[in-house]
Amino acid sequence: MAQTPNAGKKPPAKKETGPARKGHPLMTFEELINQVCAERGWPYRRTGENAVEVEIALDKGRKQKVTLETYEEEDETLTRVKTIIGPADSLSLQQTNAALGMNAHMRFGAFAIDSGNLCLVDSYLLRDADPDEVAESVRFLGRQGDFCEKYVYRQDKH
């Protein structure tokens, strides 16, 4: 009797991708926001069809606003986490280079200049977004953004 080429071999294991592998079902942006913000007691307000602004309370009455928004790129929906630190044009070349140098050591996100402002930004594929990881990014960017705003710009505007 002739054997088939796969006789006696196990079929290849199904490859799970995205949140199913991490125990999180695919979710919408709204569901992500609820899991990131509402479950942690973070107040947020809608700033656009695909964006919300979260206010992170910090020590000594300080706060930092962090924006979460979705955008499309190469047939993927991404979620961007961003906090504004201050106007980029008031930074010295030394300060700008220091921020860029810190990018190599950041736990989450990176420094960027967006619409004339120094910001911290991070991005996630929405289909792979883990609410706990996104929440930790929001918290980290909020703390770091406030720290930079306090010591570089001497204010608590954002």
Three-class DSSP category at 134: helix
What's the CA gap between 123 and 72, in Å, rounded? 12
Domain 23-153, CATH number (from 3.40.47.10, 3.30.930.10, 3.30.1460.10, 3.30.70.20): 3.30.1460.10
Question: For residue range 38-81, what is the model confidence (pLDDT) as tens digits?
Answer: 888 999 999 998 999 999 988 888 889 999 999 999 888 999 99
**pLDDT at position 71:** 92
**pLDDT at position 13:** 39
Question: For residue range 89-133, what is the model confidence (pLDDT) as tens digits?
Answer: 988 898 888 888 888 898 889 999 999 999 999 999 999 999 999
Each domain of the chain, given as residue ranges in start order, spans 23-153
Q: Where are the alpha helices (DSSP H) in 14-130?
A: 19-22, 29-36, 93-102
pTM of the model: 0.77
Question: For residue range 122-136, what is the model confidence (pLDDT) as tens digits?
Answer: 999 999 999 999 999
Which residues are bridge partners to 70 per DSSP? 79
